[in-house]
Amino acid sequence: MATDVRGSTFEPKVHLEDWKLWEQFSAVQTEMIVTKTGRRMFPGYRVKMSGMDPNAQYCVLMDISSVDENRYKFQHGEWVVAGRGEPQVPQRFYLHPNSPCSGQQWMKEIISFHKVKLTNSCGNSADGKFLIHSMHRYQPRIHIVRTDDVNTLHLQPMSTFAFPQTAFVTVTAYQNGQITKLKIANNPFARGFREDGAKTK
Amino acid sequence: MATDVRGSTFEPKVHLEDWKLWEQFSAVQTEMIVTKTGRRMFPGYRVKMSGMDPNAQYCVLMDISSVDENRYKFQHGEWVVAGRGEPQVPQRFYLHPNSPCSGQQWMKEIISFHKVKLTNSCGNSADGKFLIHSMHRYQPRIHIVRTDDVNTLHLQPMSTFAFPQTAFVTVTAYQNGQITKLKIANNPFARGFREDGAKTK
DNA sequence: GACCTTCTCACCTACGTGTTAAGC
DNA sequence: TCGCTTAACACGTAGGTGAGAAGG
């Protein structure tokens, strides 16, 4: 916990945006498509900050960590363990492009990671792409580092936040029809597949 | 000029991309549209770096400076001075989003400012938008600062580069028909106005 | 009227969707 | 056959063009 010059303390907190949507997906076990070229997550990962020192500099990072060491399969309408998964490799961090930036700035606006992509091809890894395995469970995480020095980030203490309702199983094609329905109903880019003429954004 | 630990010297140089295209426009006096919401420049401003210290950190900036204090008009097929222009205000710098970054990284790829926009409305100024007056001459410039500290940029020595063939007159509607033809012939977004079925990108 | 600005429009690029069929 | 992956596709969103009409 950091202390400013006057002695009062700051404890950064992270608030998940669109949590109602995330919970709708989570209730039927969220699936995320992974492709060679990279696929966005939906819902998009967006958060709000509070409790930061307005005058201090922070870096905000994201990563996607393995939930366990299992491989999964979708059988008889549910996800079950299907043997040992791929070895967990420490995931590279994605540094939010606004970093470094003052606490005041971070707290002012929604911090979006919606451009992040999931890929299953080493060759196509680039900034903003997470290399992960299909049929595995993952958990996105947010990290906050109180520093203005991007180069020594790895040496600094880090606060980590994770929201259980954002965990997901990776797939190359949707397994659960309910997930497909939720994606089509809520993702504007999938509007072409809606049966009704819903105009809701 | 900077010196590294072994005593050898580095002198960053900037190379303009698409210079042939820029010169085609320049030959008939380049015009750039300026709008309330902001309009991109075409050709896009792109450069390559060389001569940097691969291991040093640099920031790269862009600005758009007034060429003179005149207002211009297009008369009898050419641009002529039409009285005193608006007072020159020091232009805000646009910090390239990759900043700060190592010389090695900067030199590896083309550095693009194609998303920069020109606006004539104060209200709509935002990051990546330059507020400038219509019917004035301007000159884009590149600045290189050897530092990894974005916060003290203004205190550091700066190397400035400008390419005369990228100077332009601002307009709210094209004045010279030859400019319109060149824009339509070369800008992919204007392909709808090409008479032939040219597929050239 | 002459000159400049603003707005709406059709038409394009670029790319995010799930679908489907083919591949392994 | 079965399970999973890939690539081409139609159909969206999002936004960059100059044209042309309207406004000042």
Number of domains composing chain B: 1
B75 CA, C2 C1': Å apart: 12
| Chain A residues 140-169, Cβ below 7 A from strand D | none
Q: Could you tell me if residue A78 is inside a domain?
A: yes
Q: Are B160 and B65 contacting, i.e. CB atoms less than 8 angstroms apart? A: no
Q: Could you tell me if residue B181 is inside a domain?
A: no
Q: Could you tell me if residue B3 is inside a domain?
A: no
A105-109, A111-115, B79-83, B194-198 — which is least confidently predicted? Answer: B194-198
B193 CA, D20 C1': Å apart: 14
Chain B residues near any Cβ of chain A (below 8 Å)? 57, 97, 100, 148-151
Is 50 exceeded by the pLDDT of residue A87? yes
Is 60 exceeded by the pLDDT of residue A3? no
Nearest to A143 by CA among A156, A126, A132: A156
Locus of tokens 């001569």 = B51
pLDDT in tens, B1-43: 555 555 568 999 999 999 999 999 999 999 999 999 999 999 9
Q: Which residues pair with A22 in a beta bridge?
A: none
A 10 A CB-CB count for A55 gives 11
Amino acid at position B156, single letter: Q
More confident site: A150 or A3: A150
Alpha-carbon gap, residue B65 to B44, rounded angstroms = 17
Span A43-68, average pLDDT: 96
Nearest to A59 by CA among A155, A160, A153: A153
User: Can you tell me whether residue A20 is helix, strand or coil?
Assistant: helix
- State how far the alpha carbon of A92 is from the alpha carbons of A62, A128, B38, B97, in Å: 9, 10, 36, 20
Q: Which residues of chain B have pLDDT under 70?
A: 1-8, 124-125, 196-201
Contacts of B108 in chain A (CB under 8 A): none
Identify whether B100 is preceded by a cis peptide bond (ω within 30 of 0).
yes
Q: Could you tell me if residue B2 is inside a domain?
A: no
User: Can you tell me whether residue A200 is helix, strand or coil?
Assistant: coil
Q: Could you tell me if residue B193 is inside a domain?
A: no
Q: Could you tell me if residue A201 is inside a domain?
A: no
Span A102-119, average pLDDT: 95
pLDDT score, position A8: 60
Q: Does A122 contact strand D, using a CB cutoff of 7 Å?
A: no
pLDDT score, position A80: 96
Domain of B109, in residue numbers: 10-176
Put simply, the answer to whether A97 touches B100 (Cβ < 8 Å) is no
Amino acid at position B116, single letter: V
Put simply, the answer to whether B100 touches A150 (Cβ < 8 Å) is yes
H helices of chain B, where?
Answer: 19-27, 103-108, 177-186
Q: Could you tell me if residue A170 is inside a domain?
A: yes
Bases on strand C under 7 Å from any protein CB = 3-7, 10-14, 16-21
The band of A200, judged by pLDDT with boundaries at 50, 70 and 90, is very low
* CATH for B163: 2.60.40.820
Q: Could you tell me if residue A112 is inside a domain?
A: yes
Alpha-carbon gap, residue B39 to A120, rounded angstroms = 38
Please name the member of B97, B150, B151 whose beta carbon is closest to the beta carbon of A97: B97
Chosen from B151, B152, B153 to mutate, greatest number of chain A CBs within 10 A? B151
Alpha-carbon gap, residue B158 to B155, rounded angstroms = 9
